[in-house]
C-alpha cells in the first residue's frame, strides 16, 4: 500500500501517498499540480502540512470514511506535538516525494524504448 503511519501526539495516524494526494491538494487548496512539489522546496513549513492534511483526508475517502476535520483543526492537532515540524513532517515529506517519483514515468527509460 502507498501509505505511511506516523506517530504524532502519541497517536498513530495513517497518511495516503502518491499522485492521488496531489489531486486532493489541487482540489482543496487550488494549488496547481506542477507547483505542489516545487512549493515544498520553497516553503516547506507552509506547504507540507497542507499536503499532509490532504493526504489524511484522501486516506479517509479511499477507506470509505467521512472526513470532517478542517485544515485549521488538523494543524492545531499536529502542532500539539512539539516535534511535529521536525521528525513527522520530514518523514512524511521524504515518503511523499518517493511515492510520487515512483508513480511518475521515467523519461530515461521511456526514451530508450523508442
What's the pLDDT score for residue 92?
94
Contacts of 51 (CB under 8 A, 6+ apart): 21, 25, 36, 40, 92, 93, 96
Confidence of residue 100 (pLDDT cuts 50, 70, 90): confident
More confident residue, 108 or 66: 66
Q: Which residue has the higher pLDDT, 83 or 58?
A: 58
pTM: 0.86
Q: What is the pLDDT of residue 85?
A: 86
Amino acid at each position: 500500500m502507498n501509505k505511511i503511519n506516523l506517530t504524532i501526539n502519541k497517536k498513530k495516524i495513517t497518511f495516503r501517498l502518491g499522485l492521488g494526494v496531489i489531486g486532493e491538494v489541487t482540489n482543496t487548496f487550488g494549488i496547481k499540480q506542477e507547483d505542489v512539489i516545487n512549493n515544498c522546496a520553497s516553503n516547506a513549513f507552509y506547504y507540507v502540512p497542507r499536503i499532509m492534511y490532504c493526504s489524511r483526508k484522501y486516506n479517509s475517502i479511499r477507506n470509505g470514511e467521512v472526513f470532517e476535520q478542517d485544515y485549521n483543526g488538523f494543524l492545531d492537532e499536529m502542532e500539539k506535538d512539539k516535534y511535529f515540524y521536525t521528525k513527522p513532517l520530514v518523514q512524511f515529506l521524504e515518503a511523499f516525494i518517493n511515492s510520487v517519483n515512483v508513480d511518475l514515468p521515467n523519461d530515461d527509460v521511456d526514451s530508450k524504448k523508442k
